């Protein structure tokens, strides 16, 4: 059983992770470093700072970071061609329809090309569109929601889906398309609604975007900037792994004893803790399919609320310099509305 002092210490760490990025500018500017040290502190508090966890923390971000680095190089040298493709498309279809298609296609394709690649493509399209800041923020958050939930439709889209399939592989009905059958009726409407919302709240008209002078185009990242961005993503993911293990005693002793519908709400903690870690801790073959569905939906919908909630959020916020406060103003209301709506739906399904 976890001692009262440990619970208090972890509660303080949780509050610091939630509040300090909004209250202290230096923390917000160095969010990756801050979360890394909070993750280490949570491991120390729970006496979980073991070599196997450190090794996992060093290993887990490697694939993501390599994808970010090589995709950054590819986009650096193909930026002009992508811009030409976007401009070609905008000359032939309305701007709102273009935004709708980007959000929906990236959301659905993320389950095949992975959430990482889909979010990097999104960043490059955003850089070409050069929308005003208010509309750009909304577009990015909604698109990341679409990518984050869409990637869960197959086990190759994101770690949460991979772990879920791995944990349930003894079930005879579990195959490559199991999550598509289980979550598709909920996720696909979210992807479509995300595209619709982004398309309606679209910002610049197409002709305004097309007429912007070339010299005002956003600067393409240098190799040094790509390396720095890659390191930040690496540190960010490592921090989430450490936070996941640091909070594991609370998860094991308290969270896992809750009913599935209670877990649905408690899993809002995935807004700051790696949702793959929570998936690994919570999913069990002793659950019913409905319980697994409710649990996964709670984790996925909460991911839009804050920057650490999902890999697409982390990548887009890092590359587009989106601040924690800017993201939360849009992500939290969207996440809460979705959680309430789907909670009501799940009660009657």
* CA–CA distance, 162 with 165 (Å, rounded to integer): 5
Average pLDDT in the 43-59 region? 89
Single out the residue of 248, 68, 61 nearest to residue 159, CA to CA: 61
Contact 274, 244 (CB under 8 A): yes
Judged by DSSP in three states, 76 sits in helix
Contacts (Cβ under 8 Å, ≥6 apart) of 16 = 38
Q: What are the DSSP E strand ranges found in the chain? A: none
Q: How far apart are CA 341 and CA 196, in angstroms?
A: 17
pLDDT at 133: 87
Report the C-alpha gap between 170 and 190 in whole angstroms.
29
More confident residue, 33 or 349: 33
Residue 170 has which token pair?
């003894």
φ/ψ of residue 47, rounded to 5: 55, 40
pLDDT at position 219 is 56
Q: What is the pLDDT of residue 164?
A: 87
* Lowest-confidence region among 138-142, 216-220, 343-347: 216-220
pLDDT at 207 over 70: no
Of 300, 297, 56, 283, nearest to 169 by C-alpha is 283
The per-residue pLDDT for 214 is 41
- 189 in the Ramachandran plot: left (φ > 0), alpha (ψ -120 to 50) or beta? alpha
pLDDT in tens, 103-128: 999 999 999 888 888 998 999 899 88
Q: What is the pLDDT of residue 202?
A: 64
pLDDT computed for residue 215 by the predictor: 39
Question: Terminus-to-terminus CA distance in the chain, angstroms?
Answer: 36
For the segment 69-85, the average pLDDT, to the nearest whole number, is 82
Q: What is the pLDDT of residue 1?
A: 59
Cβ distance 22 to 328 under 8 Å? yes
The whole-angstrom separation of Cα 337 and Cα 304 is 11
Percentage of residues in the chain having pLDDT higher than 90 = 30
Q: What is the pTM of this model?
A: 0.80
Give residue 156's pLDDT.
86
- Residue 349's pLDDT is 66
Neighbours of 203 (CB within 10 A): 21
Q: What confidence tier does 220 reach under pLDDT thresholds 50, 70, 90?
A: low
Taking only the tens place, the pLDDT of each residue in 232-279 is: 888 888 887 888 788 888 777 777 777 777 888 888 888 877 677 778
């Amino acid at each position: 059983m976890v001692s009262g002092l440990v619970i208090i210490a972890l509660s303080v760490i949780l509050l610091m992770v939630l509040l300090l990025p909004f209250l202290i500018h230096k923390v917000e500017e160095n969010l990756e470093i801050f979360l890394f040290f909070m993750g280490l502190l949570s491991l120390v508090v729970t006496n979980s700072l073991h070599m196997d966890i450190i090794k996992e923390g060093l290993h887990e971000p490697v694939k993501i970071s390599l994808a970010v680095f090589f995709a950054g190089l590819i986009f650096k040298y193909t930026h002009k061609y992508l811009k030409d493709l976007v401009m070609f498309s905008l000359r032939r279809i309305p701007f709102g329809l273009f935004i709708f298609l980007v959000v929906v296609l990236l959301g659905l394709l993320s389950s095949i090309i992975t959430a990482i690649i889909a979010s990097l493509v999104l960043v490059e399209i955003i850089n070409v569109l050069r929308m005003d800041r208010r509309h750009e923020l909304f577009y990015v958050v909604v698109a990341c929601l679409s990518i984050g939930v869409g990637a869960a439709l197959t086990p190759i889209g994101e770690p949460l889906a991979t772990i879920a399939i791995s944990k349930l592989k003894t079930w005879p009905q579990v195959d490559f398309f199991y999550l598509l059958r289980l979550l598709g009726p909920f996720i696909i409407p979210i992807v479509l609604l995300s595209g619709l919302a982004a398309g309606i709240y679209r910002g610049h008209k197409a002709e305004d975007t097309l007429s912007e002078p070339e010299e005002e185009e956003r600067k393409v990242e240098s190799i040094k900037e790509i390396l720095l961005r890659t390191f930040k993503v690496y540190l960010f993911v490592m921090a989430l792994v450490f936070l996941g293990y640091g909070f594991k005693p609370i998860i094991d002793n308290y969270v896992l004893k809750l009913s599935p519908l209670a877990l649905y709400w408690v899993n809002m903690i995935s807004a700051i803790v790696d949702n793959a870690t929570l998936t690994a801790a919570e999913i069990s073959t002793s659950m019913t399919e409905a319980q697994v569905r409710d649990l996964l939906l709670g984790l996925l919908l909460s991911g839009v609320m804050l920057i650490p909630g999902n890999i697409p959020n982390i990548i887009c916020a890092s590359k587009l310099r989106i601040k924690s406060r800017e993201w939360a103003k849009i992500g939290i209301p969207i996440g809460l509305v979705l959680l309430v709506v789907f909670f009501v739906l799940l009660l009657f399904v």
